[in-house]
């Protein structure tokens, strides 16, 4: 039950989705092991190559289903009567809360009436497929898949983000750098893998 960023290196031409499907097929989880049980291009790592925040993109917002877009909950008495005091449910100060001093705010959208869609529903972002030679900075994926199908990773990912790290961060950064340098004429694809 973990999501992790996998960078898949594909040829310079052709359909990215077809390339990714082919390269990751050999690594699907089964009774003999594997690294993922499902994946998608982008997902929780949408925009990681280009400093794009998908949660701020209007294409990735929806009307809040808890308040119907009003920003006020009427279905839960404890929410309707609660006065917003600038402190959230975790005790963190929220001095810029949109409904400071009011009652009835919606905890599903923070009183805005809209919220970001679930990360696995983000619209496809073109910057999640990029020519390696044009990368603005070196990414730091958990795993890297080369065009020959080789899977490399900093450590074996387990459930709930638990990882058996087998590479130091410095060594892993060097593996990434050397691999990207070797494939400068190829493309890199951001993939959200789940295990």
Rg for the chain, CA atoms, rounded: 21
Tell me if residue 166 falls in helix, strand or coil.
Answer: coil
Domain ranges of the chain: 3-55+122-194, 58-118
pLDDT at 100: 53
Average pLDDT for residues 9-35, to the nearest whole number?
Answer: 91
Percentage above 90 pLDDT, the chain: 54
Tokens of 132: 């390696």
What Å distances lie between residue 53 and 58, 59, 81, 96, CA to CA?
11, 12, 34, 21
Helices (H), 6-156: 16-25, 77-80
Cβ atoms < 10 Å from Cβ of 124? 13
Average pLDDT over residues 154-177: 74
Give me the pLDDT at residue 34, please: 79
pLDDT at 85 over 60: no
Nearest alpha-carbon partner for 57 in 111, 140, 121: 121
């Amino acid at each position: 039950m973990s999501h992790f960023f996998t960078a898949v290196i594909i040829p310079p031409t052709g359909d990215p989705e077809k390339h990714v499907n082919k390269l990751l097929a050999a690594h699907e989880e089964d009774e003999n092991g594997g690294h993922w049980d499902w994946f998608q291009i982008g997902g929780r790592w949408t925009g990681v190559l280009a400093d794009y925040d998908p949660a701020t993109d209007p294409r990735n917002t929806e009307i809040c289903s808890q308040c119907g877009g009003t920003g006020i909950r009427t279905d839960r008495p404890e929410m309707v009567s609660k006065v917003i005091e600038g402190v959230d449910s975790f005790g963190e100060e929220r001095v810029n809360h949109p409904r400071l001093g009011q009652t009835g705010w919606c905890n599903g959208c923070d009183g805005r009436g809209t919220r970001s869609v679930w990360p696995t529903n983000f619209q496809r972002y073109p910057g999640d497929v990029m020519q390696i030679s044009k990368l603005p900075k070196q990414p730091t994926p958990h795993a890297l898949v080369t065009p020959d199908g080789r899977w490399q990773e900093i450590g074996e990912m387990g459930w709930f983000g638990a990882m058996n790290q087998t590479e130091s961060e410095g060594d892993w950064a060097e593996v990434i750098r050397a691999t990207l340098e070797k494939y400068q004429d190829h493309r890199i694809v951001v993939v959200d893998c789940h295990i």
